[in-house]
């Protein structure tokens, strides 16, 4: 996804669509159908288009900074956290259709969050709050009320 964003020639789309974000989003949604197959991910990525002071469409996010520090952003700082734990109840929520938190991650999670609980929201991907808001709210209310 990041590489798709970095490799995109936004100048071409600015020229083709007179810097009109809705038209560029529509075209990119089709353009990336194979490269970013999840329509929700594509839609999320496309919310990052904005106008710069000259009126040209640009990315809101600093793609080069994300690219250069990607391992620090997504990585887990084992060395810095060695021997440290958070001893209060902690809720990890994942979507049934998401691959971001796996059962195999629980050992590491419990190392740092010994009172962690993992809840899987049915019929939800990575954005559980958008895919199944009612279940997500129930899960959160249950957690904070105990």
Asked if residue 81 and residue 36 are part of one domain, the reply reads: no
DSSP-based three-state secondary structure for 90: strand
**Tokens encoding 107:** 């050992």
In the chain, how many domains are there?
Answer: 2
Provide the pLDDT confidence category of residue 64 given band limits of 50, 70 and 90: very high
Residue tagged 């529509």 (tokens):
26
How far, in Å, CA of 27 to CA of 37, rounded? Answer: 15
Element (H, E) at 119: strand 116-121
Pairwise pLDDT comparison (96 vs 71), residue with the higher score = 96
77 pLDDT exceeds 80? Answer: no
Pair 112, 128 in one domain? yes
pLDDT higher at 145 or 74: 145
Domain co-membership, 11 together with 61: yes
The residue from 27, 46, 68 where one domain ends is: 68
Question: Residue 45's closest CA among 32, 57, 55, 34?
Answer: 32
Identify the three-state secondary structure at position 36: coil
Q: Which two tokens stand for residue 139?
A: 């899960």
Residue 100 has a pLDDT of: 87
Q: What's the chain's average pLDDT? A: 93
Tell me the mean pLDDT in the region 70-94.
88
Among 68, 95, 113, identify where a domain stops. 68
pLDDT category at 10 given cuts 50, 70, 90 is: very high
Q: Reply yes or no on whether the pLDDT at 12 is more than 80.
A: yes
End of a domain among 68, 84, 113? 68
The domain containing residue 54 runs over which residues?
2-68
Contact status, residue 43 vs residue 131, Cβ threshold 8 Å? no
What does the pLDDT average to over 41-68?
A: 94
pLDDT at 76 over 80: no
Averaged pLDDT for residues 88-110: 94
């Amino acid at each position: 996804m990041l590489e798709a964003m970095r490799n995109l020639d936004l100048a071409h789309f600015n020229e083709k669509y007179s810097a009109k974000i809705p038209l560029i989003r529509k075209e990119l949604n089709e353009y990336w159908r194979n490269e970013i197959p999840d329509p929700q991910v594509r839609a999320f990525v496309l919310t990052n288009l904005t106008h710069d002071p000259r009126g040209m469409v640009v990315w809101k996010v600093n793609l080069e900074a994300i690219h250069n520090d990607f391992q620090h952003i997504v990585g887990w700082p084992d060395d810095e956290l060695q021997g440290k734990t958070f001893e209060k109840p902690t809720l990890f929520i994942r979507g049934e259709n998401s691959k971001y938190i796996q059962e195999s991650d629980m050992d590491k999670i419990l190392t740092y969050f010994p009172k962690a609980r993992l809840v899987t929201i049915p019929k939800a991907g990575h954005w559980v709050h958008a895919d199944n808001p009612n279940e997500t709210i129930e899960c959160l209310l249950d957690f904070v009320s105990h």
